Amino acid sequence: MAKSAKSVTDVLLQKNILHCAICKNLLLSTPVMLVENAGNLCSTCYNENFLESKCLQNTALEELVTTLSYPCRFRENGCEHWSSSGDLLDHEENCRYRSKKCPMYSICQCVWEGFPTEFVGHFINCHGEHIINFENSLFYLDITFSEEELIKLLVMKNIILLLKMQLSLEKNKLFYVVCNVKDDGSNYDYSVKHKGNSESYIKTRSRVLDSNYVYKSVDECDAVSVDLLSLQQTVKVTNRITNIFKIKTYDTPVHYIGERMLHFFECPVCKSFMKPPIYQCQSGHSICNTCKPRLEKCPTCRAPFGMTRNYSLEGLTAGVSYPCIYHDLGCMMSLSPAEISRHEAVCPYKPYNCPLPQCTMSGSHDIITNHLQEFHSDHVVVSDSHGYAESFRLEQHSLYNHIFDRKVLLAFDHIFRLTCKRVSDYCMWAAEAIGVQSELKNFVYEVSIIDVRRPEKRLIRTDYCLNEMPEEDLFKKCIMFPNSILSSYSSHGMVSYHFKIKKGV
């Protein structure tokens, strides 16, 4: 019966009986006026131009129009939706098969418009520099205070999303929205860590919206908003905000106990998962052992804290696999409470700090590598095998007890900090491997003292690269050359040396 009704509607549509004679739209608005020498007109097209024409209200057609169901006008694009005249306009307004405009108009005035199936191809061909391909549901995006708006196409296997981010200095807020290009009903959530020049961060969570939201003005109703003042005070943002996005798909395998269960182990202050010892206030609210010393009262009920332990919750931790604290950065490891703490100390996803003093920048390996080359290029050497050469005046007493050379060497996809120091009787060299404790013995550093008068005459020593450590400990385990020996290699009081990193055998 339904198919028969649809067939009748199709016949009437083909003969244009249900369309306005002027605008050619369906006669969904009343009154429908039958005008001599014109035909049936919708309420919009029937105006003062036809007041002197013979006409009458076509109530029979109005009743027929309200009785029938109609196909979406984007049926040719693939939509199979049928609905009554009252619901059709609402559906078409949000139909995922409606023609798409390019959202890059606000960035580069692109006026492309086409079918949804053509949209991704257009973006790849015309706006390839605005595409982010990512894996493990994780990607990084920086925005500076000089950029008012960013639009990125996000691609991870068969997931295609659009990100729109706006920085409003007038409202002192960062707005952003993530939309599903396919509009296929997939259910995605995402979280974002907003970082500046400190190790702290502000974290936000939201859900992926339908694609039509990317064409709307980004405001506090639809978009996530982050207060810029909070970012400046909490995470020491100056001119650049680093945003770490984590997309969560509900069909992604989860390697640790579900979030609903882990929720009971979440500290209400730092949002990390609590591990023994776990404390509780007089009312029974739990808090982790890191946050407890900082607080006098419970953040939930304001009751005072004592030394009461939540032994029941502690007992449950034995059967829980804890996700690594860097899971938002891509780590999928999950272990028992004791094992996960050891893993986190050497986790390859652990954020790096800038290895140069006075700089508080932190981020992933790639972020810090790019940061070093952009902001500290005078102190960076990029070389897998050659290292770098330098010289200094041996009798320059003003250098005693001071660092006289510090470089960062980018080699073998790792970051190394090379430091040289002089005291009255010795010159000392040390190399630290940044963030690679588990691979430390794979790398050695080599210092060569070169007689420039006879380059074949060299004094060479090697040693294993060190962990990151305070300066006062660094030169207890370093390569040292007595000044008396260095003087025999000097030329006109200058000593030349070559410093490089090598892979261990």
Higher pLDDT among residues 372 and 337, named by residue: 372
Quote the pLDDT of residue 257. 44
Same structural domain, 76 and 175: no
Report the share of the chain in percent with pLDDT over 90. Answer: 8
Q: What is the mean pLDDT of residues 92-108?
A: 80
Residues ≥6 apart with Cβ < 8 Å to 356: 372, 376, 379, 406, 408, 417
Residue 438: is its pLDDT beyond 60?
A: no
- The pLDDT tens digits for 227-248 are 888 888 877 788 888 888 988 8
User: Is residue 136 within 8 Å of 330, Cβ to Cβ?
Assistant: yes
- The pLDDT tens digits for 30-61 are 888 888 888 888 888 887 677 778 888 888 88
- The pLDDT tens digits for 172-193 are 889 999 998 887 777 788 889 8
Residue 269 domain boundaries = 259-344
Same structural domain, 417 and 444: yes
User: Is residue 87 within 8 Å of 72, Cβ to Cβ?
Assistant: no
Residues ≥6 apart with Cβ < 8 Å to 244: 138, 139, 140, 192, 193, 195, 201, 328, 329
Same structural domain, 315 and 455: no
Confidence label for 440 from pLDDT (cuts 50, 70 and 90): low
Same structural domain, 6 and 147: no
Q: What is the mean pLDDT of residues 326-355?
A: 79
Confidence label for 13 from pLDDT (cuts 50, 70 and 90): confident
Q: What is the mean pLDDT of residues 250-262?
A: 50
Same structural domain, 127 and 197: yes
Instruction: Using DSSP, state whether 310 is helix, strand or coil.
Output: coil
Quote the pLDDT of residue 247. 87
Quote the pLDDT of residue 254. 42
Residues ≥6 apart with Cβ < 8 Å to 95: 72, 74, 79, 81
For residue 184, report the phi and psi dihedrals to the nearest 5 degrees.
-100, 15
Quote the pLDDT of residue 221. 62
Same structural domain, 318 and 361: no
Using omega within 30 degrees of 0 as the cis cutoff, is the peptide bond preceding 31 cis?
yes
Residue 430: is its pLDDT beyond 70?
A: yes
Q: What is the mean pLDDT of residues 440-462?
A: 86
CA dist., res. 475 & res. 483, Å (int) = 16
User: What are the structure tokens assigned to 220, written together?
Assistant: 């506090």
Residue 29: is its pLDDT beyond 80?
A: no
For residue 488, report the phi and psi dihedrals to the nearest 5 degrees.
-75, -15
- Cite the DSSP H helix spans in 109-266: 116-126, 228-234, 259-262
Same structural domain, 461 and 383: yes
Residue 199: is its pLDDT beyond 60?
A: yes
Report the share of the chain in percent with pLDDT over 70. Answer: 93
Residue 162: is its pLDDT beyond 90?
A: yes
Confidence label for 152 from pLDDT (cuts 50, 70 and 90): very high
Asked if the structure places residue 323 within a domain, the reply is: yes
Instruction: Using DSSP, state whether 101 is helix, strand or coil.
Output: strand
User: What are the structure tokens assigned to 118, written together?
Assistant: 């053509």
Q: CATH no. for residue 266?
A: 3.30.40.10
Asked if the structure places residue 315 within a domain, the reply is: yes
Quote the pLDDT of residue 121. 87
Q: Which of 344, 366, 387 is the last residue of a domain?
A: 344
User: Is residue 184 within 8 Å of 137, Cβ to Cβ?
Assistant: no
Place of tokens 């120091």: 421
Q: CATH no. for residue 405?
A: 2.60.210.10
Angle between helical axes of 59-67 and 85-94 (0-180°, round to 10): 60
Average pLDDT, the chain: 82
CA dist., res. 271 & res. 284, Å (int) = 18
Same structural domain, 180 and 131: yes
Quote the pLDDT of residue 3. 57
Quote the pLDDT of residue 80. 84
Consecutive H or E run containing 185: none
CA dist., res. 414 & res. 292, Å (int) = 37
Q: What is the mean pLDDT of residues 368-396?
A: 85
Quote the pLDDT of residue 55. 85
Same structural domain, 386 and 471: yes
User: Is residue 351 within 8 Å of 363, Cβ to Cβ?
Assistant: yes
Same structural domain, 232 and 266: no
Confidence label for 437 from pLDDT (cuts 50, 70 and 90): low
CA distance readout (Å), 393 to 176, 340, 399, 422, 500: 55, 49, 9, 11, 21
Kindly state the DSSP code that residue 293 receives in the 8-state scheme.
G
**How far is residue 344 CA from its own chain's centroid?**
21
Consecutive H or E run containing 275: none
3-state secondary structure 313-336: HHHHHHHCCEECCCHHHCCCCEEC
CA distance readout (Å), 197 to 74, 237, 240, 362, 400: 49, 6, 9, 6, 32
**How far is residue 157 CA from its own chain's centroid?**
17
Quote the pLDDT of residue 253. 42
CA distance readout (Å), 469 to 404, 421, 501: 18, 15, 18
411-414: long-range contacts, CB 8 A cutoff, minimum separation 24: 411/382, 411/383, 411/384, 411/385, 411/501, 412/384, 412/443, 412/501, 412/503, 413/365, 414/439, 414/443
Q: What size, in residues, is the chain?
A: 505
Quote the pLDDT of residue 1. 41
- The pLDDT tens digits for 207-225 are 898 887 888 777 656 788 8
Query: For the chain, what is the domain count?
Result: 4
Same structural domain, 106 and 242: yes
Q: Which of 225, 249, 273 is the last residue of a domain?
A: 249
Q: Which range among 45-59, 141-155, 411-425 shows the weakest confidence by mean pLDDT?
A: 45-59
Which residues make beta-bridge pairs with 370?
Answer: none
Using omega within 30 degrees of 0 as the cis cutoff, is the peptide bond preceding 277 cis?
yes
Rg (CA), the chain: 34
Quote the pLDDT of residue 220. 55
- The pLDDT tens digits for 478-502 are 899 998 899 889 888 888 999 888 8
Same structural domain, 152 and 81: no
Consecutive H or E run containing 368: helix 365-375
Q: Which of 249, 273, 290 is the last residue of a domain?
A: 249
Residue 5: is its pLDDT beyond 70?
A: no
Asked if the structure places residue 254 within a domain, the reply is: no
Q: CATH no. for residue 21?
A: 3.30.40
Q: What is the mean pLDDT of residues 96-119?
A: 83
Q: What is the mean pLDDT of residues 245-265?
A: 62
Confidence label for 154 from pLDDT (cuts 50, 70 and 90): very high
pTM for the whole structure: 0.48
